[in-house]
Structure 1
């Protein structure tokens, strides 16, 4: 159980870090090219969210295959754990995106 919780936390923070890091570096790149950083950061936040989630859970089709094989064989616990890894990674990517939107809120008028 401890290993499962550790992996959930790691998946969350990897996805969160990918979104936050990519957006911050996109902002730096925008400043260096004399563009408005908030627009680029918001654009990157929306586009990288799914890739952050995929990278956090393994980056290949193997996690989905684990769900399929275990579910079809009736082993629900490993399938449920893998689904929870996806949920944790999605939560990290989403919170990272929300944080970037919150940071850029004052810079971009809707």
Structure 2
């Protein structure tokens, strides 16, 4: 149980991290093609992608919330805590990705 919990938490973290970093890097490449400032586009994209990275990592916006609601109403708090843990891990991945992009862009400007 603990092994699968940590495995999913790490995967969720890395998915959210990858969405933010990958999307920002591609936005930077795209901005070069249109002769715009890569750092500005990368920062803006990282900020905008943060919430969508969390959504992508946990598997959608409605299903995790429905899962939390149904288990909470039935009095099963352990699955609720696990789902919230996955959301927190996804948030941390997206946040670390955003901070990495900020650090990269700070050095570029």
Indicate whether the TM-score tops 0.5. Answer: yes
> In 2, Cα distance between the equivalents of 1:14 and 1:107?
25
Q: Please identify runs of 4+ aligned residues in structure 1 that moved more than 2 A.
A: none
Greater fraction helix: 2
Cα deviation per residue 1:56-78 (whole Å; 9 max; x = unaligned)? Answer: 00014011111111111111110
Question: Is it true that 1:70 corresponds to 2:71 in the alignment?
Answer: yes
- 1:90 matched to which residue of 2? 91
Question: Is it true that 1:24 corresponds to 2:7 in the alignment?
Answer: no
Deviation at 1:107, TM superposition (A): 3.0
> In 2, Cα distance between the equivalents of 1:99 and 1:106?
11
Cα-Cα RMSD: 0.8
- Normalised by the size of structure 1, how large is the TM-score? 0.95
> In 1, Cα distance between the equivalents of 2:108 and 2:7?
36
Deviation at 1:8, TM superposition (A): 0.3
> In 2, Cα distance between the equivalents of 1:60 and 1:51?
9
Which ranges of structure 1 fall in alignment gaps of 5 or more residues?
Answer: none
> In 1, Cα distance between the equivalents of 2:65 and 2:96?
23
- 1:50 matched to which residue of 2? 51
Which ranges of structure 2 fall in alignment gaps of 5 or more residues?
Answer: none
